[in-house]
Structure 1
Amino acid sequence: MADIRNVPGPRTDDRFTVGVSRDFLDSEGNNVWGDIRLGELDAGPGVDWHYLPRDTDELLAADVDGLDAVLFAGPAVTERTFAGATRPPLLFARFGVGYDAVDLNACTRHGALVTITPDGARRPVATATLALLLAVLHNLPAKDRLVRTGRWAEKEQWMGLGLTGRRVGLIGLGNTARDLVGLLRPFEVDVVAYDPYCPQDVARVLGVRLADADTVVAEADAVIVMCALTEETRHFVDARRLALMKPSAVLLNVARGPIVDEAALIEALRCRRIRGAGLDVLESEPPDPRNPLLSMDQVVLSPHALAWTDEMSAGNGGSAVRAVLDVSQGRVPPFVVNREATEEPGLVRRLGVWAAGSGTVGVHA
């Protein structure tokens, strides 16, 4: 049940107030993501928004108390976000698809919805994953370094692998992975995936064969990690599973660093147990300068920003803004990750207030 101390009384104004986390801004006050569709908030009837005054790694009650919604990227949302708040936000709209820094239980207890932006991230992440896969298979960074360092004659040592006709193994077959499957079709690849939550009929329509995780890593020429980080998936790709991979295979991780046992991966690469790796994410970000991955030619790295494009900015921003506007009209938006919060009396009551003000019938989308 919701904490009754945080169930609000009647509103005394008709403005829906939104705070945007300050980590979106650079030192000169420019949005580092460019156009994230915040202008659509200006067009929302009765909506006021501003950047939060403090740049912080964790949102505290003092940062958000009195706001109706928070659109955020990097800061964590924890129990301390609500501690002592008299009117906590109805919504925390995450700019992105990961929510491992969000305490969902705390949000639910305090009657706050949490949304993510899979519709905005799906195509940019799928495209970035394909780019990373091709870069790893073609040894692109190593070939770039040959030219820059005057080692042109060494190019014969860096023969790549073609993607056409290979087998791609997916750890996770969610929305982004399904979009990647479509992008892979022209390469005539065979796709095998592990996802205990994906219905067989969905995989069948995609032309994907579902299998257990060990089979996926053992059969694939490229293993791509695309699942969420949970206690179940932490170090899911460990030394044992890396040992099952073909020596000619590559591993990509575009999800979260801790899903792969990094020490085991380093050892597998060092002893040439697998061919190479492409990593947009690492266990520790940014990595220690002494991390062996940084000096390995067969590894392609990205600073957890592989999909950062104008397409991603507009997609994630637009999706998060739409979630905010839905709640400002008393509607439950799509892509709520703590659906149980929609049953909390305090949240239902507050949504009802905004629904009544907007003329919306009912509060559920």
Structure 2
Amino acid sequence: MEGNFLPNIDYGFAISRGVRILSISPVFAEPVAEAALGMALDLARGISRSDRYFRQGSEKYGLDANRKAYSLHRQHLGFIGFGDLGRAIVPLLAPFHPTIKAYDPWLPPEYIESMGCQAATLQEVLTSSKIVFVVAGVTAQNQGMLNREAFLSMPAGAALVLVSRAAVVDFEAMLDVAATGHIRVATDVFPQEPLPLEHRARRGDNLLLSPHQAGALEQTLAQIGVMVTADAELIARGLPPCLCKIAQPETVTLWRSKPVEQS
């Protein structure tokens, strides 16, 4: 069982023989979505930053503590990628009544608009959003897509929430731009995991770090068995699976996810 389509299967041969190839990735959408919302709130309101200041004895009070804070209410938000995870985050944002733009080259504008969002170009999402959720899986077409220029094009003080795969971004460039104070970053994923103790991200400013924990809940892992069993029963009855993600011949060979390297 795997949450990604890895390059360890001859997909063309399997599909031509009628073999179903499924991923259990949809099971992680809801838990990662709520973690992403928590990260966005923290970056916007400076919650963990104020906690650190308290522990250092340098806290500020009232408005002085919020000079660089902003609300999610009626805010301009953006999505890069709009698969299972993006669609799980959108309903959580509804109480804030935001304007949401989404970029996903694998989806038609009509699909994005059916979710109450505006289809947009990558540049439009980056330049107009106060908070950008990066939820795109890594493919042959988007590795390192978010580079230094992309981060610098974001509004000053904007926040980036990275909860998909680190390979979508130029990770070092992201750290560089965050260090200048131009953007704030929350990330649940890293180029190498566990992150080396000497890695600069551990000492970086304007960073909220999460150790790839967003989807790893016991209740979520238990749900994998329910999902796989239900789809296996459908297949045994001659019906198509409906809970797991199905490998599509047009795109499955473009995925570039790989098992996380452990040090």
Amino acid at match of 1:142: R
Verify: 1:187 aligned to 2:91, yes or no: no
Do the aligned partners of 2:26 and 2:245 also contact (CA within 8 Å) in 1?
no
Q: Identity rate of aligned residues, in percent?
A: 23
Aligned to 1:151: 58
Task: Give the TM-score, by structure 2 length.
Answer: 0.82
Verify: 1:123 aligned to 2:27, yes or no: no
- Identify unmatched segments of 5+ residues in structure 1: 1-71, 73-93, 341-365
Q: Distance in 1 between the 2:171 and 2:66 partners?
A: 24
Amino acid at match of 1:317: G
Q: Distance in 1 between the 2:224 and 2:45 partners?
A: 30
Amino acid at match of 1:309: L
Do the aligned partners of 2:22 and 2:245 also contact (CA within 8 Å) in 1?
yes
- Bigger shift: residues 282-291 or 243-252: 282-291
Q: 2:131 aligns with which of 222, 236, 257?
A: 222
Do the aligned partners of 1:107 and 1:113 also contact (CA within 8 Å) in 2?
no
Residue deviations 1:8-44 (CA, integer Å, cap 9, x gap) = xxxxxxxxxxxxxxxxxxxxxxxxxxxxxxxxxxxxx
> Which secondary structure state, in structure 2, belongs to the residue aligned with residue 113 of structure 1?
coil
Higher relative contact order (CA 8 A, sep 6+): 2
Deviation at 1:147, TM superposition (A): 2.9
Q: How many residues align?
A: 243
Aligned to 2:259: none
Q: 2:84 aligns with which of 151, 158, 175?
A: 175
> Which secondary structure state, in structure 1, belongs to the residue aligned with residue 172 of structure 2?
helix
Aligned to 1:15: none
Do the aligned partners of 2:76 and 2:131 also contact (CA within 8 Å) in 1?
yes
Cα pair distance change 1:142/1:107, threshold 3 Å: same
Residue deviations 1:133-168 (CA, integer Å, cap 9, x gap) = 112212222222223343335884564221111111
Q: Distance in 2 between the 1:158 and 1:288 partners?
A: 33
Q: Distance in 2 between the 1:316 and 1:199 partners?
A: 30
Q: Distance in 2 between the 1:122 and 1:336 partners?
A: 12
> Which secondary structure state, in structure 1, belongs to the residue aligned with residue 132 of structure 2?
strand
Do the aligned partners of 1:281 and 1:303 also contact (CA within 8 Å) in 2?
yes
Aligned to 2:209: 301
Q: Distance in 2 between the 1:338 and 1:177 partners?
A: 19
Residue deviations 1:91-136 (CA, integer Å, cap 9, x gap) = xxx2x3x33x3434x2543565321124422222221211111122
Q: Distance in 1 between the 2:28 and 2:186 partners?
A: 19
Q: If you compute each CA radius of gyration, which structure gives the higher value, 1 or 2? A: 1
Do the aligned partners of 1:115 and 1:337 also contact (CA within 8 Å) in 2?
yes
Q: Distance in 2 between the 1:176 and 1:187 partners?
A: 18
Q: Output the aligned Cα RMSD.
A: 2.4
Aligned to 1:34: none
Q: 1:134 aligns with which of 41, 44, 48?
A: 41
Do the aligned partners of 1:121 and 1:316 also contact (CA within 8 Å) in 2?
no
